[in-house]
Structure 1
Amino acid sequence: MAKIERHPDVEDYIHELTLAQIEARGGVADIFEEGRMILLKDYRLDFDFGALEALHKSIDAVEDIRVRKSLKKLQAPYFFEGDPPTGQGNKLVFCEPIRQAIFDVLCKGDREIFNRVGRALKSTHEEIVRIFGTCFPNYDPFRFIPSVRLTRTLFENLHWDNHSIDDDFHQARIFANLDTRPRIWHTSFRFPEMMKRLYREHRLDRFAGKDPNLMLDYINGDVLGGTRNTWMESLPKHRIAFDPGEVWLGESRLISHQIFYGESAMVYMWFVRADTMANGANRFNHRIDALHRAMAIQPQAS
């Protein structure tokens, strides 16, 4: 089970539930939409960790800029979906440049490695999709991004995710640790609370009526330091070490997070129609607009 150290100055929004408990309560959409993290209790993915350990993780040898960009934000189905390759012996030739680069570079041109990774990711992909259905039985997704991270992440700064999309949508996210070592997260205040804490001092009213991503950028970068000045923030944090194979859920625009250490992971994201939410008023853009309105009528401290 994950090792969790809860900071007394940060609200405890971490829930530990078994899949049976989640199914019995009809899912977790209600608490997920409130900005709570849900950790699957007593659960581990049945994953072939050795498959990913055989991969070559560097993409420096990939010359095509577009292919390299796709490899940085790789989607798991590239390993097991698409037109079948041609070729003889150990050599495989793919129609899609991204799949060819996966085979040639990440899998080192080794058919056995490619097939083993494909089997491992396909099985886990199907399991994560099943978990989504259990956790969010009423959600109607209109877009799905099944990302897999294969490179090391160290000492991220605390932040809230910015998808650079100003559409008024809801997202569901499921994370899974695919490494043999713990994936270490730090989490702190949720975005609405942080917004209220900073509102007067940083004149956040200037972002009212605008794309919420602009305010996310400002707080992530100018206030907390972004990717360059990681020493600027010293907020209290919960500390979580997710064990190999553990799965957790969270709305990453609401829950601040810092990957302190992590290797391979699945990060699956569904864009969800607001009218299928447990409470449509909890969608991110609506919450931010409501907070602007509430702060506008709140008396300022003298």
Structure 2
Amino acid sequence: MAKIVRHPNVADYILEMSLDEIAQRPSGLMDLFEDGKLVVVKNYRLPFDFSAMEALDDRTDSIDDQKIRRKLKKLEATTFFSGKDPEKIIDEKGDVESLRFDTPLRQALFASFCRSDPKVFANASNALRTAHDELTRIFKLCFPTYETTRLISSLRLTETVFENLHWDNHSIDDDFHQARIFCNLDRRKRIWNVGDRCIDFMEANYAKYDLAQFAGRDPNEMLSYIAGDILGGTRDIWKDDRPRHHVAFEPGEVWLGESRMISHQIWYGQRAMVYMWFVNVNSMHDKSRRFNARVEDLHARMAANLPSSSSHESIAAA
């Protein structure tokens, strides 16, 4: 189980639920996810070949094409196993010596991450396909009526330490909903800190930071302002003194949360999968709980000096 240290001055929105408990709920996790809960899947570990990831090289400096290199740094897990099977290059002994792919990206992936080793590529592809299928199964169980339009299957292979506290800004100005599942693919713990939820922080500090200036604007602008100008961003991580919960996720552990709603920082992590599904808002449990609508509602309530419509306790005053 994840090790969780709850801070008394942060609203306790962390839940631990087994897949069986989730399956027994008609709405799965839809209502809880939309309400800004962070859900850790209890008594579960992703069946995964960790050695397949450990065999990968996370360096991309051997790739000269800068465009391809940027794509490798934001690699999607499905790149390993989607598309046409590679052509096998056979040596004089009849063994597979190398592989030839039909796209420059997959060829570069093979050359850099897999060091042009067919066995390393095969093992990683099989492991990631298995993980993909399992996360897809968990998604369907947790979000039974969600209709999806797109999947971003991010694969994180590089070490991350001492990230700044932030709410995710996807730089997408569309009014959309997302479902997000995280999984630790490393043998070591992945350590997160999680703090204020966005609406809680905005409501408690609306006048102090003149957040009314963002009414009617893209909510991403406000997220950037709060995370950067107020909390310090990546340059001044020391500037942030917000209270937060501490969570250490075990190898293979899975958790879910709306990362635009929950402030978070990776304190330490190496290999992970982050699956993000774009969801048709009309298929939500309650589409008024989508991120953009909740931000608009807050601006309207603050302008009218109305009390909170949130169903949860807020402990976010600066």
Shorter-normalised TM range: over 0.9
Does 1:242 find its partner at 2:259? no
Tell me the CA shift for residue 143 of structure 1: 1.0
Whole-Å separation in 2 of the counterparts to 1:195 and 1:58: 40
Tell me the CA shift for residue 91 of structure 1: 1.1
Whole-Å separation in 2 of the counterparts to 1:84 and 1:34: 42
Tell me the CA shift for residue 65 of structure 1: 1.3
- 159, 168, 171: which is aligned to 1:161? 168
Higher strand share: 2
Q: Aligned ranges for residues 106-125 of structure 1 at < 5 Å?
A: 106-125=113-132
Between 15-24 and 56-65, the greater mean CA deviation after superposition: 56-65
Does 1:139 find its partner at 2:156? no
- Structure 2 residue runs of 5 or longer lacking an equivalent are 91-95, 307-318
Whole-Å separation in 2 of the counterparts to 1:217 and 1:3: 30
Whole-Å separation in 2 of the counterparts to 1:201 and 1:38: 31
Whole-Å separation in 2 of the counterparts to 1:28 and 1:279: 12
Whole-Å separation in 2 of the counterparts to 1:207 and 1:269: 26
Whole-Å separation in 1 of the counterparts to 2:304 and 2:237: 34
Tell me the CA shift for residue 201 of structure 1: 1.3
Does 1:59 find its partner at 2:60? yes
Q: Deviations over 1:78-107 (max 9, x none)?
A: 111111212223211111111111111100
Tell me the CA shift for residue 215 of structure 1: 0.3
- Structure 1 residue runs of 5 or longer lacking an equivalent are none
Q: Deviations over 1:187-215 (max 9, x none)?
A: 00100011112211111111100000000
State the SS of the aligned residue for 1:144. strand
State the SS of the aligned residue for 1:12. coil
Tell me the CA shift for residue 116 of structure 1: 0.2
Count of aligned pairs between the two proteins = 299
* 2:19 partner letter: L
Whole-Å separation in 2 of the counterparts to 1:71 and 1:186: 27
Q: Aligned ranges for residues 179-258 of structure 1 at < 5 Å?
A: 179-258=186-265
Does 1:294 find its partner at 2:298? no
Q: Deviations over 1:243-302 (max 9, x none)?
A: 000000000000000000000000000010111100110000000000000111218xxx
Whole-Å separation in 1 of the counterparts to 2:139 and 2:191: 23
Q: Deviations over 1:156-178 (max 9, x none)?
A: 00000000011111000000000
Tell me the CA shift for residue 71 of structure 1: 0.9
Whole-Å separation in 1 of the counterparts to 2:173 and 2:294: 14
RMSD over aligned Cα atoms: 0.8
Tell me the CA shift for residue 53 of structure 1: 0.5
* 1:2 partner letter: A
Between 267-276 and 88-97, the greater mean CA deviation after superposition: 88-97
State the SS of the aligned residue for 2:247. strand
* 2:23 partner letter: E
Whole-Å separation in 2 of the counterparts to 1:290 and 1:245: 37
Does 1:279 find its partner at 2:280? no
* 1:45 partner letter: L
Q: Deviations over 1:17-59 (max 9, x none)?
A: 0000000012010010000011100000110000010111111
Does 1:15 find its partner at 2:15? yes
% identity of equivalent residues: 53
Corresponding residue for residue 4 of structure 1:
4
* 2:175 partner letter: D
Corresponding residue for residue 68 of structure 1:
69
Report the TM-score, using the length of structure 1 for normalisation.
Answer: 0.98
Report the TM-score, using the length of structure 2 for normalisation.
Answer: 0.93
Whole-Å separation in 1 of the counterparts to 2:35 and 2:97: 50
Whole-Å separation in 2 of the counterparts to 1:35 and 1:98: 36
